[in-house]
Amino acid sequence: MTITLYDLAGMEAERRFSPFCWRAKMALAHKGLAVDTVPWRFTEKEKLPQPNAGRVPVIVDGERVVHDSTAIADYLEEHYPDRPSLYGGTVGRALARFIQNWTETVLQPGLIRLVLLDIYRHIGPADQAYFREDREKRFGMTLEAFVGDREARLPQFRASLDPLRRTVERQNFVSGEAPLYADFIVFGAFQWGRAISDFDVLAADDPVRTWRGRMLDLFDGLARRAPAYGS
Amino acid sequence: MTITLYDLAGMEAERRFSPFCWRAKMALAHKGLAVDTVPWRFTEKEKLPQPNAGRVPVIVDGERVVHDSTAIADYLEEHYPDRPSLYGGTVGRALARFIQNWTETVLQPGLIRLVLLDIYRHIGPADQAYFREDREKRFGMTLEAFVGDREARLPQFRASLDPLRRTVERQNFVSGEAPLYADFIVFGAFQWGRAISDFDVLAADDPVRTWRGRMLDLFDGLARRAPAYGS
């Protein structure tokens, strides 16, 4: 049975830019599960199936509704044990949590200082009004000010990728010879960036860029085929 | 047969402060292997068994000499497969590399800005002369200047621990319910700090401190019993 995924979309329905939804899409593809995605916008909270937390991803698998990307990955791992593992065992699952926490406390906060305004440019008028008000309140400044020094911030952002860079210099994927959920977590952040921004966050010769290219090739180019900027 | 470990020591022979040697000692204890440690000082390069890279840890296991903490962990995992695993499998080994790279590009560089001068205070005169010259050349300033603003740096250092903090808030160890080599890598850095410095790098209520306490309790308090400062 096909799983339904509610997936954050821009003004163009095919432009999908949530890092958390990309985690879920890569995980579903890794498990080889068929999925129908439903484009969903920030201001369509009433359109989500219950239960939800007002955010995506949310999946519907038959009778079951699961929300939150981590809960979705755990659900898929538990309910589809005959499919390829997302974690490679309990230790792999535990260590992936460190990489998730690095992604959410270092990588994503760094990226948002570079691309926040580009999100605004890719969403419709109703979403724009919501997004500007919500994010300007959260960050205590205008969207324009929030990313205004992004050229100056870029060297520091790139330096913050050192743990990732050194890892993928020495092995093909974060998870080793083959990609697993830890790779999907990190990749989701980069795919979010490239889905809505032409700002080149990675230098041309960065090993992180080479790894990102390997990720874009997975699953017949699932992420590469999606509307996005750059290589 | 007992393994011999060459272990960096201070002026007091029992004060052992190399983060890399602590990785090896915790790994040997995890494997349940008997070890004799040989105190070794920075200026005793000619006393190391061959081959070596002029640094410790170096282990001697019968006929075999292995140097470099990562090579030692891999050697132990391969040669003692009947003992408890250090990695929990190939995925665990790959993901531990990310945590190692975070430790070596974020945690250890952050710590050294807090404790470098304290190393100097714990080593003998010949080592002091070598250490001051070598490190002042490497860092382009005096040891005193290098750590002179450590109080001001402390908040930023503590913030840099967010990925670790969030992980050990939610699970007992970096590796999950039980500690594995990824924990030993991170712990080695903290044990290095506390072995030679009374500067309190962790706040009293920091979950990282609670995790460090769990690490200090391992192997009948192996690291807690060693000469060090604080809890």
B182-216, pLDDT tens digit by residue?
999 999 999 999 999 999 999 999 999 999 999 99
Alpha-carbon gap, residue B29 to B219, rounded angstroms: 7
pLDDT of residue B71: 98
What number of other Cβ atoms are within 10 A of residue B201's Cβ? Answer: 23
Cite the DSSP H helix spans in B31-89: 69-79
Closest partner residue to A92 (CB to CB) among B91, B102, B167 is B91
Query: Does the pLDDT value for residue A231 go beyond 80?
Result: no
Q: What is the mean pLDDT of residues A102-114?
A: 98
Tell me if the pTM is above 0.95.
Answer: yes
The DSSP call for residue B32 is: T
Q: What is the mean pLDDT of residues A75-104?
A: 98
Q: What is the mean pLDDT of residues A13-25?
A: 98
Nearest chain A Cα to B86, which residue? A91
Whether ipTM > 0.95 holds is yes
Could you tell me how far CA A200 lies from the centroid of its own chain? 17
Query: Does the pLDDT value for residue A42 go beyond 90?
Result: yes
Cite the DSSP H helix spans in B37-161: 69-79, 90-102, 108-121, 125-139, 143-146, 150-160
Q: Which residues in chain B are closer than 8 Å to A87, comparing Cβ atoms? A: 91
Q: Which of A225, A228, A230 is nearest to A195 (CA)?
A: A228
Nearest chain A Cα to B180, which residue? A91
Alpha-carbon gap, residue A211 to A230, rounded angstroms: 15
Q: Which residues in chain B are closer than 8 Å to A97, comparing Cβ atoms? A: 167, 170-171
Instruction: Give pLDDT tens digits along chain B (231 positions).
Output: 899 999 999 999 999 999 999 999 999 999 999 999 999 999 999 999 999 999 999 999 999 999 999 999 999 999 999 999 999 999 999 999 999 999 999 999 999 999 999 999 999 999 999 999 999 999 999 999 999 999 999 999 999 999 999 999 999 999 999 999 999 999 999 999 999 999 999 999 999 999 999 999 999 999 999 999 976
Minimal C-alpha gap between B164 and chain A (Å) = 7
Q: Do B98 and A176 touch (CB under 8 A)?
A: no
What number of other Cβ atoms are within 10 A of residue A87's Cβ? Answer: 22
User: For strand B58-61 and strand B64-67, is the pairing parallel, antiparallel, or unpaired?
Assistant: antiparallel
The DSSP call for residue B117 is: H
Alpha-carbon gap, residue B71 to A79, rounded angstroms: 38
Q: Do B176 and A90 touch (CB under 8 A)?
A: yes
Cβ partners under 8 Å of residue A11, min gap 6: A122, A123, A124, A127
A-B C-beta contacts closer than 8 Å: 108
HSE, CB side, 13 Å, CA atoms: give it for residue A17.
Answer: 27
Q: Which residues in chain B are closer than 8 Å to A161, comparing Cβ atoms? A: none
Candidates A30, A85, A91: best to mutate against B (most CBs of B within 10 A) is A91
Q: Which residues in chain B are closer than 8 Å to A102, comparing Cβ atoms? A: 98, 102, 163
The DSSP call for residue B2 is: P
Q: Do A93 and B176 touch (CB under 8 A)?
A: yes
Alpha-carbon gap, residue B201 to B29, rounded angstroms: 26
Q: Which residues in chain A are closer than 8 Å to B99, comparing Cβ atoms? A: 95, 98
pLDDT of residue A1: 82
Q: Do B88 and A92 touch (CB under 8 A)?
A: yes
Q: What is the mean pLDDT of residues A23-36?
A: 98
pLDDT of residue B11: 96
Q: Do B101 and A180 touch (CB under 8 A)?
A: no
- Answer whether A173's CB lies under 8 Å from A183's CB: yes
Mean pLDDT computed over every residue of chain A: 97
The position carrying tokens 């874009």 is: A216
Containing A38, the helix (H) or strand (E) segment is: strand A35-40
Q: Do A97 and B162 touch (CB under 8 A)?
A: no
Q: Do A91 and B92 touch (CB under 8 A)?
A: yes
For residue range A123-135, list pLDDT tens digits in order. Answer: 999 999 999 999 9
Nearest chain A Cα to B107, which residue? A163
Closest partner residue to B91 (CB to CB) among A105, A164, A176 is A176
Alpha-carbon gap, residue B230 to A130, rounded angstroms: 50
The DSSP call for residue B24 is: H
pLDDT of residue B231: 66
Given CA atoms B90, B92, B95, B100 in this order, what sign does their dihedral have? negative
Minimal C-alpha gap between B222 and chain A (Å) = 24
Closest partner residue to A101 (CB to CB) among B94, B163, B177 is B163
Alpha-carbon gap, residue B219 to A62, rounded angstroms: 48
CA dihedral B112, B118, B124, B127 (to 10 degrees): 20
Alpha-carbon gap, residue A57 to A21, rounded angstroms: 5
Alpha-carbon gap, residue B79 to B85, rounded angstroms: 11
pLDDT of residue B230: 79
Alpha-carbon gap, residue B73 to B23, rounded angstroms: 8
pLDDT of residue B1: 82
Helix (H, G, I), strand (E, B) or coil at B58: strand
Q: Which of B67, B58, B41, B87 is nearest to B180 (CA)?
A: B87
Alpha-carbon gap, residue B76 to B70, rounded angstroms: 10
